[in-house]
Homo-oligomer: A and B are copies of this chain.
Amino acid sequence: MDAPIVVLDRPQLGENIGFVARAMMNCGLRRLRLVRPRDGWPNPAASAAAAGADAVIEGVEVFDTIEGAVADIHRLYATTARRRGLSTPVLDGEGAAREMRAEAAEGCRLAVLFGREASGLDNDAVALADAIVEFRLDPAFRSLNLAQAVLLVGYGWWCAGPADGRDLRRRGDLPPEDTSPPATKEEMANFFSRLERALAESGFLRHPEKRPRMVRNLRALFTRARPSTAELGALHGIVESLRRGRPGDPPDAA
Contacts and interface: CB of A to CB of B under 8 A. Distances in A.
B252 A203 contact: yes
B152 A139 contact: no
A93 B252 contact: no
A162 B204 CA distance: 45
A90 B217 contact: no
Contacts of A141: 22, 25-26, 52-53
B159 A94 contact: yes
B136 A159 contact: yes
Given A148-B148, A158-B138, A168 B90 contact: yes
A236 B252 CA distance: 22
Contacts of A137: 26-27, 155, 158
Interface in A90-142: 90-95, 99, 131, 134-142
A44 interface: no
Given A52-B141, A148-B151, A168-B95, A227 B234 contact: no
Nearest to A227: B221
Interface of A: 19, 22-23, 25-28, 51-53, 83-95, 99, 131, 134-145, 147-148, 151-152, 155, 158-159, 163-164, 168-173, 175-178, 198-206, 208, 211, 214, 217-218, 220-222, 224-228, 231, 234-235, 237-239, 241-246, 248-253
